[in-house]
């Protein structure tokens, strides 16, 4: 029986196969992302980066993205405060406080990414990557709260319509809120998919929820302007229902990570890669799991009886090279190889 333990350090062929769908337009969001060298926005597939450790690279990208999200939401909040001071609208003040509170929701995720930098120890033998999943729970709760909030507000406005004042100022603030949140949503969802962080994707979905909320306000302003104030609560209910769907998808993603679930297509891809080799007789165990945004695996393979130790070593290196191409964000993988006669035990 031969057991080989491989790590993700010094990968010369570090290719990520998650969401390599790059947008090739020259939109503002894409230009900003490319200028900041964020994955998903740049056409550089990281083949020339100096850091060999992709885990550290992805973690740094995650931290940079969250700080940029906080900066964007903070700037959005400041602009809305200026508009509130100019207009004196209480509704704008409430929306501004809401956006500021949502910006602070990214802090648990930022803490999680900083924690994941810490080395594994005798208590946390897998490191601190799971902190991302804890942050994901908090983010999902926040999304659910936003969905409930907008539905309750919409129903109340439907029952007791409230006139909108300072329509121009409210429209300006709503438009700014939508643009700021959508910028954060696109950035976090793209980067989250690229580095394998479902918690960051959930945070991006939360930003999108807030953008939809601002969009509902903008449509409400239009309704009041054309003499259809009932349009505001109706659109609010529709968007609230859409947010419930976003909440459900976020819940499923975080639940899968907490339960060590992976996309079955990853398991199939690993199996297909192994079975391409005729010397493999059987796969007795194949387990994959996410720890934070890194994929870990344990594989037990039954090989032909006449395979030598040297052949096993070469086979392991060859197999790991292929895994780097078919398994995204590969962290640590253990490959246990046994000769065919040991299968009965």
**Could you tell me where the beta strands, DSSP code E, fall in the chain?**
2-6, 280-291, 294-303, 330-339
| Domain range for 186 | 53-258
Q: Looking at the structure, do residues 226 and 293 belong to the same domain, yes or no?
A: no
Q: Looking at the structure, do residues 109 and 245 belong to the same domain, yes or no?
A: yes
* Domain of residue 296, CATH code: 3.30.70.1350
Residue 188 CA to residue 202 CA, distance in Å, equals 9
The percentage of the chain sitting over the pLDDT mark of 70, rounded to a whole number, equals 77
Residue 96 CA to residue 224 CA, distance in Å, equals 21
pTM of the model: 0.72
Residue 77 CA to residue 125 CA, distance in Å, equals 41
Q: Looking at the structure, do residues 231 and 83 belong to the same domain, yes or no?
A: yes
Tokens of 234: 């109706």
Strand order in the sheet with 280-291: 2-6, 330-339, 294-303, 280-291
**What integer pLDDT is reported at residue 269 of this predicted model?**
92
Query: Among the three residues 208, 233, 258, which one is the final residue of a domain in this structure?
Result: 258
**What integer pLDDT is reported at residue 52 of this predicted model?**
38
Work out the end-to-end distance of the chain between its first and last CA atoms, rounded to an integer number of angstroms: 12
Q: Looking at the structure, do residues 249 and 268 belong to the same domain, yes or no?
A: no
pLDDT at 46 over 70: no
Query: Among the three residues 229, 258, 287, which one is the final residue of a domain in this structure?
Result: 258
Place of tokens 């907490």: 258
**What integer pLDDT is reported at residue 299 of this predicted model?**
92
Q: Which of 2, 123, 149, 132 minimizes the C-alpha distance to 55? A: 132
Domain-located, residue 12? no
Domain count, the chain: 2
Cα-trace Rg, the chain: 24
124-152 per-position pLDDT tens digit? 988 898 899 999 899 888 888 878 887 88
**What integer pLDDT is reported at residue 146 of this predicted model?**
78
pLDDT at 44 over 50: no
Domain-located, residue 283? yes
Residue 172 CA to residue 22 CA, distance in Å, equals 31
Judged by average pLDDT, the poorest of 8-17, 70-79, 85-94 is 8-17
202-257 per-position pLDDT tens digit? 889 888 888 887 887 788 788 878 887 787 788 778 878 888 888 898 899 889 98
Domain-located, residue 306? yes
Q: Looking at the structure, do residues 224 and 284 belong to the same domain, yes or no?
A: no
Domain-located, residue 96? yes
172-195 per-position pLDDT tens digit? 888 888 898 899 999 999 999 988
């Amino acid at each position: 029986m031969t057991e080989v333990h491989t790590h993700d350090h010094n990968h010369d062929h570090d290719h990520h196969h998650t969401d390599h769908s790059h947008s090739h337009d020259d939109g503002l969001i894409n230009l900003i992302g490319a200028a900041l060298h964020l994955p998903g926005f740049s056409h550089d597939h990281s083949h020339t980066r100096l850091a060999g450790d992709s885990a550290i690279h992805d973690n740094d990208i995650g931290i940079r993205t969250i700080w940029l999200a906080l900066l964007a939401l903070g700037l959005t909040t400041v602009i809305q405060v200026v508009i509130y001071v100019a207009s004196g609208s209480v509704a704008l003040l409430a929306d501004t406080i809401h956006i500021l509170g949502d910006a602070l929701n990214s802090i648990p995720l930022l803490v999680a990414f900083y924690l994941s930098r810490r080395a594994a120890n005798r208590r946390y033998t897998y490191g601190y990557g799971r902190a991302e999943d804890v942050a994901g729970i908090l983010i999902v709760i926040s999304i659910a709260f936003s969905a409930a909030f907008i539905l309750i507000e919409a129903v109340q406005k439907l029952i007791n319509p409230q006139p909108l004042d300072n329509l121009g100022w409210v429209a300006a603030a709503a438009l700014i809120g939508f643009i700021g949140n959508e910028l954060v949503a696109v950035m976090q969802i793209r980067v989250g998919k690229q580095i394998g962080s479902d918690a960051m994707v959930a945070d991006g979905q939360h930003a999108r929820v807030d953008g939809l909320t601002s969009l509902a306000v903008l449509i409400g302003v239009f309704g009041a302007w054309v003499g259809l104030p009932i349009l505001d609560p109706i659109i609010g209910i529709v968007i609230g229902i859409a947010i419930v769907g976003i909440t459900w998808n976020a819940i499923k993603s975080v639940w899968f990570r907490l339960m060590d679930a992976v996309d079955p297509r990853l398991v199939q891809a690993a199996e297909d890669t192994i079975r391409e080799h005729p010397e493999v007789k059987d796969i007795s165990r194949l387990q994959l799991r996410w720890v934070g945004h890194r994929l870990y695996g344990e594989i037990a393979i039954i090989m032909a009886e006449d395979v030598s130790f040297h052949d096993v070593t070469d086979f392991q290196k060859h197999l790991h090279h292929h895994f780097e191409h078919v398994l995204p964000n590969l962290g640590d993988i253990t490959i246990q190889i046994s000769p065919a006669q040991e299968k009965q035990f």
